[in-house]
A and B are shown apart, each in its own frame.
Chain A
Amino acid sequence: MLDAEFFRRWMAVTAASVEREAERLTALDSPIGDADHGSNLQRGFTAVAGALEKEAPGTPGAVLLLAAKQLISTVGGASGPLYGTLLRRTGKTLGDAAEVSPEELATALRAGVDAVMALGGAAPGDKTMIDALVPAVDALGDGFAAARAAAEQGAQATTPLQARKGRASYLGERSIGHQDPGATSSALLVAALAEAAGE
């Protein structure tokens, strides 16, 4: 079973890996975006880590709702509302249970990803964070490590795609050949989940 401590660890590991990879995310955002994805997410997850340390919410759902609130209030851009919605819907779906099973987390994450698709209007193949998140959720039944591999593969598979959503879409065919920064940061979030689980 996964308790609040596990979810706090997930967020802390995400914050650390976003900080470590911020420059790479910004570099990916340079040719097909506006060169700020790393710094924006770093600001957001630093706020998440700080708030979780201060408030230490007692349930998995409460951890994710607090994290979502911090992301929405600090990131801006499209990433703030999209990542905020992902965690908020996942947290709401988990409810106020003190512990949740990996299966319940998988179901809640799927609801979160669906909410992101509804909000941003992106579908798989549009070269967005969805291209890492959907395969990850699909693979979660086989464990966290499988989800991490699926997300990483999904992020890498965005390279040959033409962007149809977000700022990269303005480039048309010139967006082809670059890995999507949003899919890349989503893969970090999923990898942090596996790391928090010790896998």
Chain B
Amino acid sequence: MPTIEPATNAAVDPADFISALHAEGNLPQNAGGDPAVPDSCFIDTHIYQQPTV
């Protein structure tokens, strides 16, 4: 029977990355992909200002 190697684990925990971004106030709180696109989740923790005029 051949030995099956386990899959390689990611070197970075994405949760740490997201936490760091939140701390810097740079990105919304959703996980991956294009973090700039506003997410309808988490609206309670990230409020965009609406135009007044």
Do they bind each other? no
Residues in B lying within 8 Å of A, measured CB to CB: none
